[in-house]
Homo-oligomer: A and B are copies of this chain.
Amino acid sequence: MVKKKTKKKTQKKTNKDNAEKVASKIEKISKEIVSQIKKEESPTFLTSQRGRSNVEFDEKKGVLQLGEKMTSRNFLNLGHAKKFMQTTLVASKTFDYLKKNKTASIREIYYELKHSLGSGKENTFEDQTESDSVIVDLEHSAETIREKLNLHANPKGALYGDITLKDKMHNNDTFNMLQLGRGGWSIMSRMEPEEIEIVKTNAKYVLVIETSAMYERLVEEDFAKKNKAILVGVGGQAARGARRLIHRLYKEENLPVYVFTDGDPYGWYIYSVIKQGSMALAAHSGFLACPKAKYIGMTIEDIHDYELKEVTEKMKVGDVKRAKEMLNYAWFQNKPWQDELKRSIKEGVRIEQQALANKSLEFVAETYLPEKINGKKFLP
């Protein structure tokens, strides 16, 4: 059992882990297994228990975290044997990646490792959920994140504003996001400091935007320059690469993070994942969360303040159900959010960020966002 204090220390350390260090962790886990076999013990390795029962909301830090419950996988337990084999396959492959300086998507490693066993019909992996689950095991065992194992999910999201990045793995390309036309930069799936350096930014804050269309609107209105803002268009739920980038701007550059989504359960969820982390990735909040992030809107109050009733939509049954669940979430246990959720349920409406176009196209950039940000009219 890893004690809490030790764990915290290790987690801090891993933020600076490089490929060599992570590879040596994998090697250590593997050597331990080999030594167990030599001693004729049942090969076993430890990983954190997952699922809600082991997820805690750390009130002080304001992030979701994985608890201390550990679980073991034993090769000689019939129920564990296949998973054990899968774990050694993934561990060995990621070790290769780290040594060869290659990276792979989690779908690629699944395909790379999938093959039939011997002459039988049994496959190493039946589908990607099996390898995904093993990757999480390994992240926990090695106390790191998949990006440090040279794995990653799909890329999504765009970046715009006065920020200069350097890609150390690509001729040290150095480019400022205000000089790439109105498209901006396509955020990679991997945004690790060992690869992408934040060279400089003159921005005062990071604005995270749910929809790609609103991102384009704010680019067209020259919002970034006029307000010294970095715009991150996440296009729905933020991909891990976008979350790593936002986290790094928050942590390394000390920039406030403001989140601008539709006013509905999906938008609130996008916000809460950026702020506190997610259940599924509770172990990695230290790499991904921005606990001081603020929610700009859309809010129910906006509908009244800006007379937007005509452009609201009725909440669907599923939305209402989801909003009611959110009322009980630890991280929404504060008056402003309780009021917001209850009011939404009572009025039964949702409002999209693009609905602000009902005032005028420029309204969001010239009135709405400045009023919210300068007046600090946020939800916590």
B-binding residues in A (CB < 8 A): 102-105, 107-109, 111-112, 114-116, 123, 154-156, 158-159, 165-167, 169-171, 173, 175, 179-189, 196, 211-213, 215-217, 220, 235, 310-311, 352, 354-358, 360-361
Contacts and interface: CB of A to CB of B under 8 A. Distances in A.
A165 B181 contact: yes
Nearest to A211: B154
Given A108-B217, A186-B185, A311 B114 contact: yes
Contacts of A215: 155
A154 B212 contact: yes
17 contacts: A102-B361, A108-B213, A108-B361, A111-B357, A115-B310, A123-B310, A155-B213, A155-B216, A158-B186, A165-B181, A167-B182, A173-B181, A180-B180, A180-B185, A181-B188, A184-B185, A186-B186
A175 B179 contact: yes
Q: Which 6 A-B pairs have the closest CB atoms?
A: A167-B181, A158-B186, A108-B357, A111-B357, A105-B213, A186-B186
Contact of A186 (B102, B104, B123, B184): B184
A128 to B, nearest CB: 10
B173 A180 contact: yes
User: How many identical chains are in the complex?
Assistant: 2
B180 A111 contact: no
Point out which of A105, A154, A169, A183 has the most chain B C-beta atoms below 10 A from its C-beta.
A183
B115 A358 contact: yes
Given A188-B216, A189-B213, 11 more contacts: A103-B220, A104-B357, A105-B217, A105-B354, A108-B354, A108-B361, A115-B358, A154-B213, A159-B186, A166-B181, A167-B180
Chief secondary structure at chain A's binding surface = mixed
Given A310-B115, A357-B112, A105 B183 contact: no
Nearest to A359: B112
A311 B356 CA distance: 47
A9 to B, nearest CB: 33
A137 B182 CA distance: 29
B175 A111 contact: no
A95 to B, nearest CB: 14
A188 B183 contact: yes
A159 B183 CA distance: 10
B358 A310 contact: no
A46 to B, nearest CB: 29
B173 A112 contact: no
Contacts of A183: 155, 167, 185-188
Contacts of A356: 111
A41 to B, nearest CB: 34
A17 B156 CA distance: 33
A197 to B, nearest CB: 10
Contacts of A220: 102-103
Contacts of A159: 186
A312 to B, nearest CB: 11
A114 B310 contact: yes
A129 to B, nearest CB: 14
A108 B358 CA distance: 8
A90 to B, nearest CB: 14
Contacts of A114: 310-311, 358
